[in-house]
């Protein structure tokens, strides 16, 4: 499918599931030394840009910051679970290393994207999220896409599934 790139305006074939709306040339700039902020803002969804080793957030767009109620310094160099406020990210072992993280579909999709380059679409799992007024069950759904040595994580759902009971 061809359309205009939301960054450069070129008529071209657009990128994958996460970078939809951005041409391949602009998408490749995300992993380079260019201004990642402008490119991430062109994606019309909350997006985190992650590095593989250690697996941490490099930056995020404004939609992601608003969704999680955080400022950029609160997500940069943090692990995904710390950004999402997953209770297991606060354990002694830490995010991605706690025994409860072994079968986390979100973590496993991100790790697989880094290891194989394969994108993942609509990966969903319930997480226990720590909020100021207690722990709540949220459903987190993401899609992943590798861009150079980095990975984009688009957050498609981050919802409290039982707001009345919790």
What is the per-residue pLDDT across 84-103, written as a single tens digit (0 to 9) for each?
A: 999 999 889 988 888 989 99
User: Which whole number is the average pLDDT over 16-42?
Assistant: 71
SS3 annotation, 100-161: HHCCCHHHHHHHHHHHHCCCEEEEEEEEEEEECCEEEEEEEEEEEEEECCEEEEEEEEEEEC
- Of 44-53, 94-103, 119-128, where does mean pLDDT reach its minimum? 94-103
Query: Is residue 16 over pLDDT 90?
Result: no
Regarding beta strands 47-52 and 150-160, do their DSSP bridges make them parallel or antiparallel, or are they unpaired? Answer: antiparallel
Query: Three-state DSSP class for 66?
Result: helix
What is the per-residue pLDDT across 138-163, written as a single tens digit (0 to 9) for each?
A: 999 999 999 889 999 999 999 998 76
**Token digits for 10?**
């070129």
The predicted structure's pLDDT at residue 164 = 61
The predicted structure's pLDDT at residue 79 = 95
- Fold of the domain built from segment(s) 2-160: Beta-Lactamase (3.30.450)
Query: Is residue 122 over pLDDT 60?
Result: yes
The predicted structure's pLDDT at residue 39 = 81
> What is the percentage of the chain residues whose pLDDT exceeds 70?
86
Q: CA 97 to CA 117: how far, in whole Å?
A: 22
Q: CA 166 to CA 157: how far, in whole Å?
A: 19
**Token digits for 71?**
């400022």
The predicted structure's pLDDT at residue 166 = 45
């Amino acid at each position: 499918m061809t359309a205009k790139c939301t960054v450069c305006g070129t008529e071209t074939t657009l990128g994958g599931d996460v970078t939809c709306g951005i041409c391949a040339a602009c998408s490749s700039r995300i992993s380079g030394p260019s201004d990642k902020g402008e490119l991430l803002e062109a994606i019309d969804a909350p997006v985190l840009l992650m590095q593989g080793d250690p697996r941490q957030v490099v930056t995020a767009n404004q939609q992601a910051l608003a969704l999680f109620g955080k400022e950029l310094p609160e997500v940069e160099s943090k692990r995904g679970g710390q950004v999402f406020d997953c209770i297991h990210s606060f354990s002694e072992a830490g995010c991605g290393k706690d025994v409860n993280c072994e079968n986390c579909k979100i973590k496993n999709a991100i790790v697989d994207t880094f290891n194989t380059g394969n994108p993942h679409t609509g990966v969903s799992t319930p997480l226990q999220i720590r909020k100021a007024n207690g722990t709540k069950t949220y459903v987190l759904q993401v899609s992943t896409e590798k861009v150079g040595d980095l990975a984009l994580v688009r957050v498609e759902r981050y919802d409290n599934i039982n707001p009345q009971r919790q």
